[in-house]
Structure 1
């Protein structure tokens, strides 16, 4: 059975424990619009696909092609911030977004 974007969205929602209702709300859609996408009755634009990938924190490449890793590694970052109270380090989320974008560009360029 061929995997479609709709099926990958359904799988991602389930794995990320994001309800379809929540995803629809974050997209500014009603549930029926998302249902049509998931059931392959409605096509999605490139912008909508990118927004879905961002909301679900999944690989844009995987969402489109099904060929890449499902998730985006959340530990990739140039800088780490240290919380002075707890002494723990956490990734800088601004850097993380930049690295995800750069990584996707390189993947597309060197296929």
Structure 2
């Protein structure tokens, strides 16, 4: 896939989320999302980050098309041990920060 729009469309399909549902979650009309997917409308960095979060794909993949497509679920800044489930929990805000930091490093040093 060559463009961000194509990757958004593909990730929608893979996630089972319809383009209409994604547009609603973004508080956009469906025509706006359709223009993004077709490449006739650009998206801001903030919009791309929000789309990546909703579709649960890596920001790096969405922007560049490079692997990995998915975001590891075990990444965490705060390692909160849940004694009941015997698992570490992650904070979604921390995960989003990690995604952003990884993108900055990739762009600077990649």
Give the structure-1-normalised TM-score: 0.80
Is there any run of 5+ residues in structure 1 with no aligned partner, and where? none
Task: Tell me the equivalent position of 1:86.
Answer: 85
- The more displaced of 10-19 and 42-51 is 42-51
Deviation, 1:23, is 1.0
Task: Tell me the equivalent position of 1:36.
Answer: 35
Q: CA RMSD in A?
A: 2.0
Q: Please tell me whether the aligned partners of residues 59 and 99 of structure 2 are also in contact (alpha carbons under 8 angstroms).
A: no
Give the structure-2-normalised TM-score: 0.81
Task: Tell me the equivalent position of 2:47.
Answer: 48
Task: Tell me the equivalent position of 1:58.
Answer: 57
Task: Tell me the equivalent position of 1:21.
Answer: 20
Larger Rg: 1
- Separation of aligned partners in 2, 1:58 and 1:30: 22
Aligned residues: 110
Question: 1:89-108 alignment to 2 at 5 Å?
Answer: 89-108=88-107
Deviation, 1:67, is 2.3
Is there any run of 5+ residues in structure 2 with no aligned partner, and where? none
